[in-house]
Amino acid sequence: MTAEPIARPLTFLKGGIHYRAGEHDAARRSPFEIAKNDFNEVLSSKNLTFLLGSGCSSHAPNRNDEHGIPTMAPLAQGILAETNRSVAARYGLTDVVRNQLADDLGIDLNDEDYAWNLERLMEVLFGFQFALAKTSNSALSDAKVSLDIAIEAIKRYVFDACKSGQDGPSAETVVSFYQIFYRKLSQRSRSLPRPTIATTNYDLFNEIAMDRAGVPYINGFLGSVEKRFNPASFRYTIAQRLDLTSQRWTSLDNLVYFLKLHGSLNWHSVEKGLFPVAERPLSESGDGKAMLIYPTPAKQNASFAAPYSDMFREFQTKVVQEQSALVTLGYGFGDEHVNNIIYQALTIPTFRLVIFAKPEFGTETSNEHVRKLQDLNDPRIWVIGTEDSNSTWKAHYFNQFVADIMPSGDNDPAEKAIGNVMDLFASFQKGGNDGDN
């Protein structure tokens, strides 16, 4: 008795050509087969960059269960929902602070506009903070104290939510998706330039996955005892000697250039030295003072400061090269600075943009940016995703993309071999066998 084939309701929008779920082309290929075949060509682009957003670090096997780092709505509810008042108070967002914000400034934290969107709330809080910075009004000065407390409380909460989501037992599921992603990416032809991975996420899922998979990467930090940020490192490579009898070298096949556009949980400002940003172990990052661009509209201005400006400059350099392809995953186009770089790249005839997101049809639009890019009917802009929100399989979800759309699927012999070796080591450790008996 054969198993039922897995339903993969994928829609592929390739400029003005639409391959909708349930339809077939003249060769009787499904949209899933067409998209998978065409995406293989994208991986062979001369200059390849992936942009990974917050959706990649969150995995929700069902509506009531989320692994990894919470996305924007659950993140906001974690501190603003009525049922989480005790959590808010623990960070300093007490009822006294809430009431003063509401009475003196008219900021109601129970407002539906804020309850599901921390970025919208932080926009209002930072706006008032700027306006009250020089006030001499005593009543407003008292309100400013509560305003500062609220901002710091939310910053600390965001840091802790990302850290705990990364350290939790369910995070291993998310790490496994990233590991498979990097193992498959490492099979890209060695004759092509090494790929670039850019992310707006703060977490260390990428770094953990690359370390476990044995993937070397250049992230802008150099050093051993003190790893300091040095943008010159993006001009470097890691090479291996091909022939011991001659000076022939080549870059490692699986080398990756890695850019964290919004900072990282383990970045810290340091006073001494030429390069004032250092990487620290997470065990030394419990103060919540990591260098992060928090989810506020002011993040575009923050990105002009070092080291973010260097990261954005490198990202722009990568995507505006000739014959470049940018693949976005889990990215909702909520960062204008990133969007501007993408729009500038679209002025280059050889640039290709592949967006993994829910295709936008009908009168209701869940993402205005995707809708506008989709409506351009530009053959260089591809949108790949699942229209049905109730589908159990979604093409634009990171885990489904890694498992089913990236080449070398579940039957990849290298993947199985690595898994078998890891299982063997685990069985030795569990049984206490040191190999001498």
Q: Residue 63's pLDDT is what?
A: 65
Distance, CA of 107 to CA of 122 (rounded, Å): 11
pLDDT tens for each residue of 133-184? 887 887 788 889 999 999 999 988 988 888 888 887 788 999 999 999 999 9
Q: Is the dihedral of CA 388, 390, 392, 396 positive or negative?
A: positive
> What tokens appear for 342 in the block?
């993408």
Question: Dmax of the chain from CA atoms?
Answer: 80
Q: Residue 404's pLDDT is what?
A: 94
Distance, CA of 324 to CA of 318 (rounded, Å): 8
Q: Residue 1's pLDDT is what?
A: 39
Q: Residue 410's pLDDT is what?
A: 46
Identify the residue whose tokens are 């001009």.
235
Q: Residue 2's pLDDT is what?
A: 41
From the list 391, 276, 355, 277, the residue with the least C-alpha distance to 39 is: 355
Q: Residue 313's pLDDT is what?
A: 94
Q: Measuring CA to CA, how many Å separate 150 from each of 126, 160, 231, 263? A: 10, 15, 34, 22
Strands 381-385 and 11-14 turn out to be antiparallel
Q: Residue 273's pLDDT is what?
A: 72
Q: Residue 434's pLDDT is what?
A: 56
Regions in the chain scoring below 70 on pLDDT:
1-6, 62-64, 243-246, 283-289, 294-305, 409-416, 418-419, 422, 426, 429-437
Q: Where do runs of H (alpha helix) occur along 242-331?
A: 299-302, 308-319
First vs last C-alpha separation in the chain:
44
Q: Residue 3's pLDDT is what?
A: 43
CB 329 within 8 A of CB 398: yes
Distance, CA of 294 to CA of 159 (rounded, Å): 9
| Count helices and strands in the chain by DSSP H and E runs | 15, 17
Q: Residue 27's pLDDT is what?
A: 83
Q: Residue 297's pLDDT is what?
A: 54
Distance, CA of 235 to CA of 360 (rounded, Å): 39
CB 382 within 8 A of CB 14: yes
CB 124 within 8 A of CB 107: yes
CB 255 within 8 A of CB 193: no
Q: Residue 295's pLDDT is what?
A: 59
Q: Residue 257's pLDDT is what?
A: 96
pLDDT tens for each residue of 339-373? 999 999 999 999 999 999 999 887 777 789 999 99
